[in-house]
Every structure is written in C-alpha cells, then in structure tokens.
Amino acid sequence: MSLEMSSDLSKILVVDFLQKSWSCVEAIVKGLAVFKEERRPSVSLFHFTDGKKVDSSVAGSHFFVRSSVEYSNPQPTVEEVQGIAAARLLEVCSNYFYQYGLHQPDEKDVNVLCENLKKPSQGLVVAFLLDTDDIEPDRYSLNPLKESIVNSGQSAFPAATVKTESLEIDPKFVQKYDGSLISKHEAERVSYYLQKCGSSYLDMVDAVKYESLQGLSESFGIDLYLPSMRLPLTLLKSEKTDGLLHYVIRQTHGSYESIECVYKCMGRSVKNLTTLLTVPHSSKGFGSKRAVRGKIHFENGKLKSARVDYRTTLLYPNAIDPSDVSIAKADDTFTVEGEKLAAYRFEETPSSPQFFLYSLASPEDAVLWHGIGAFGASELLKSYTTIRVACAKDLVVKGLNEKYGVASKVPLQFNLDPKFMWGHPVHHNIDASIGSVENLKALTDFGMKVEQLPTEQYIRF
C-alpha cells in the first residue's frame, strides 16, 4: 500500500497503522462476522470533564477492545497515550472495514478514517480503558507526589484508598525530571486538581489525565477521550456479595483442588503455597502485592487460613535514573481465617485479587498489551490466557458465562510492538510524560505497529 504521507498527525498514524497492523484489523473484522452477542449486562464506564466524574452505560452487546492506564502517576506517559491512540485506531478501522468490507485501503479510505477518528466512538466495536486501582501510588518512581506519599504512610496502600489531604508536589522531583518524566505545566495541573477533587487520589489522577487527553485530542486530530472502568477494588466495594468478583474469590478458595488448579494456571507449584490469590489488606491500610508475603494452610482438603506478612519493599526505578527506586513502606503480620475467603465478603475482608483473576470482570473481546516481550510480562499474559481457558472448560470458577455473561472464549490479543514503542525523542524512555515532549510529530514518526499475539503460545496446559 503506497499512500501519500501528510503532516497531519492523525493521517501519519492511520497510514502507518494500516501498513504495519493490517492483520490486526482483519482479525477483528473476521471476528465480528461470527461475533455472537454475549449475555453480559450493560457495562458501566466513566470519564472526567472539568474535574468532575461523568458516569455512562454501554450495552453489553458491543465488541469491547481494552487498553489501560496506570494510577501510579498522575501525568500521562507516552506509553499510555500510544496505547490509547492504538485502541482508537483498532476501534475505528475495524468498524469501518466491517461496514464496508475488507479491501485494499486507498486515499479516500484514509481520509474518511481520519474524519471518523475525530468523533466519539460509534459502531459495534467500542474501545475503553481499564484503570487498575489496586496498584501502589508510586510504583515506578514517576510520581511528582512521591515524597509526600511516603511521608504520609501511604506508599504501600492500594491507589483506591490513598487520600490526597497530605499530598503535595515534590519540587525536587519536578526540577530533576523536568523535560524527561514531567513538565512544569503538568506539575501545576496536578497541584490544581489536588485542591479541586476532594480527598480521592483516583479522582485527582483521572481528572489530570482526562484534561491532558482533551488537549491531546486536538493536537493529534484524534478523539482520545476513551471511557474508563476501575478494577478491582472499586467494583468489589460497590457490588453485592453475589457479584462477579466475590464469586471469583469464593470459587477459587473453595477447596485444595480449586487453588491447585489456579496455581497451575499461574505456572506455580502447590508445594509451597506461598502465592496469595487475593491479597488481604492490613488494618493499617497496606495492600501492596509487592510488599506482601503469604502462606496458605489447609486442613482436611479445606482452606484453614492464610498468613499475611507486609514488609518494606523496593518497587521499581524510572528509566531516567536507575538508582531512584520507588518504595512501599509497610510492616504488619496477621492471619485470615480460610472461611473469610471461601465465603468471601469484601466489607469484612478487603483484599486485592491477582490481575489475571479480576480481569475476568472486564468486558473485553480484544485486549491491547503494551510491549509484551520487552516491557510487558509474558508470564502474566500466560496466566491471563490460561485462566480463561480453564474457566471456559469449567475447571475453575464454574458457570461464569451462564451466571454473569463473561465471554466463554479467550479474547483476541494484540500488542504494541516493542520495536515501535513511543519514547522520548531525546531520552528515549517510554515512561516520559506526554507533556515533556515538545514536538508530538516526533512521536508519530515512531509509527504505530500493533501485532496479534498467538493465543496458543500463551496457554500453560
């Protein structure tokens, strides 16, 4: 395909995406041809406008494409923005070629696609963002609030329970990383929404990111205002005890055999039983999965108890200064009775399920991973894929499709090709804030290559 390039950023991306990622569009369009409406209920999503949360509902009959962002930093990174742009390209191109048939794209097609990208989502395919609210608030040493997060005792808290009253911008962080991990303008935006969004850290982060996306939408000529959903803690807190995630936790902790099956999905041996399938939160507020150590105990084939130890743990460095490693400070030890998990109630035993378990609650028919093979974890992907195969076969978490309308097959899996991941034009780091990039064309020049991952290579049994 030879199409005339344009200085228009959306056109650059569309042309490159169609050239390098056409097989992904084909995969979705062919999937749509045999797509059967799932039994899932309407999907609750949200976005932020002027710092205020706006809820919405989308019919569960749509074909959902999931991308993701992090609560570990308020400022959007170039990696996150690339994932959002890629999800929109998958959505818009798939809807278009599903409607008009798969054919060799020409200049007219590109122009129509660019116009469609300027508009909000429309069509059978709907892209959305999954915001993981159980993550530490400064997991990757990117957060300009990092010093006050640690000093306030919240560094090992799940992001969902972090409060903003004692948080403030660290001027040393901004000075050190201005132009590489953050810009002064972004720091000012974070300070503004710290004051405007009440005590909720999640609301503050979303308000900052959505305002950024509003400006980026104009710059790229692409509506990047994708709706979001928060998992797992927001859903666990709001759903009743017969809700989906409560059911997943109860089913996976029902017996030795169920835990053994989940361990096999993770590629773990049941010999040591040190992996907690859901991480109970400390009464002190700790919930970091990195800072926790556990041990599961059985008696007569039933879960007797889970020992939980929280200890101060180093997390991850940013890409600019490898010596600047974030930290989760925690110190607590307690035991949870097995019945508290086998007959689970979140209000009694707050906990964070492992990602591959709680992602079962995400309405995704296709997923977009970020740099699997280089930046993303292949082992996590294997756990994600294998648990879905096991659930479809009713080996564990039985009856998900019948009870909750969860898709009975593994979603299509796509990946931002690591060789074409966006990075800072000068520093080459993918964790650079989007505001630290002076010329956005430098990002579109990286191109947009999405690859389809072969599901069968990521199944453990």
Q: What is the pLDDT of residues 189-206, one digit of tens each?
A: 999 999 999 999 999 999
- 270 lies in some domain: yes
Tell me the C-alpha distance between 49 and 78, whole Å: 21
pLDDT tens figures, 1-58: 333 333 489 999 999 999 999 999 999 999 999 897 667 899 999 999 999 999 999 9
DSSP for 363-407?
Answer: --SEEEEE-BTTTB-HHHHHHHHHHHHHHHTTSSSTTHHHHH---
* Domain around 351: 235-356
- 98 lies in some domain: no
Tokens of 355: 């990602």
> Cα-flanking dihedrals φ and ψ of residue 131, to 5°?
-105, 110
- 449 lies in some domain: no
CB count, 10 Å around CB of 308? Answer: 21
Side by side, which strands form the sheet with 63-70? 52-58, 43-49, 228-231, 125-132, 63-70, 366-370, 412-416, 450-452
Predicted local confidence at residue 38, as pLDDT: 66
19: helix, strand or coil: helix
Tokens of 52: 């205020």
| Residue 228 one-letter amino acid | S
pLDDT tens figures, 273-301: 999 999 999 999 999 999 999 999 999 98
Side by side, which strands form the sheet with 292-299? 292-299, 302-317, 325-337
Tell me the C-alpha distance between 136 and 245, whole Å: 21
pLDDT tens figures, 152-172: 999 999 999 999 999 999 999
Tell me the C-alpha distance between 338 and 307, whole Å: 10
Residue recorded with tokens 């972004």: 186
Residue recorded with tokens 């909720």: 200
Tell me the C-alpha distance between 319 and 48, whole Å: 29
Contact 430, 421 (CB under 8 A): yes
- 96 lies in some domain: no
Tell me the C-alpha distance between 444 and 6, whole Å: 11
For the chain, the domain total comes to 1
| Residue 382 one-letter amino acid | K
- 124 lies in some domain: no
Between helix 256-266 and helix 244-252 the angle, nearest 10°, is: 100
Predicted local confidence at residue 6, as pLDDT: 34
- 346 lies in some domain: yes
CB count, 10 Å around CB of 379? Answer: 11
Tell me the C-alpha distance between 199 and 145, whole Å: 14
Between helix 256-266 and helix 378-392 the angle, nearest 10°, is: 140
- 321 lies in some domain: yes
Task: Point out which residues pair with 323 in neighbouring strands.
Answer: none
- 268 lies in some domain: yes
Residue recorded with tokens 């932020």: 48
- The b-or-e profile of 147-169 (16+ CB within 10 A means b, else e) is bbbbebebbbbbbbbbebeebbb
| Residue 453 one-letter amino acid | L
Each residue's pLDDT, cut to its tens digit, for the chain (461 residues) gives 333 333 489 999 999 999 999 999 999 999 999 897 667 899 999 999 999 999 999 999 999 999 999 999 999 999 999 999 999 999 999 999 999 999 999 999 999 999 999 999 889 999 999 999 999 999 999 999 999 999 999 999 999 999 999 999 999 999 999 999 999 999 999 999 999 999 999 999 999 999 999 999 999 999 999 999 999 999 999 999 999 999 999 999 999 999 999 999 999 988 889 999 999 999 999 999 999 999 999 999 899 999 999 999 999 999 999 999 999 999 999 999 999 999 999 999 999 999 999 999 999 999 999 999 776 689 999 999 999 999 999 999 999 999 999 887 899 999 999 999 999 999 999 999 999 999 999 999 999 999 999 999 999 98
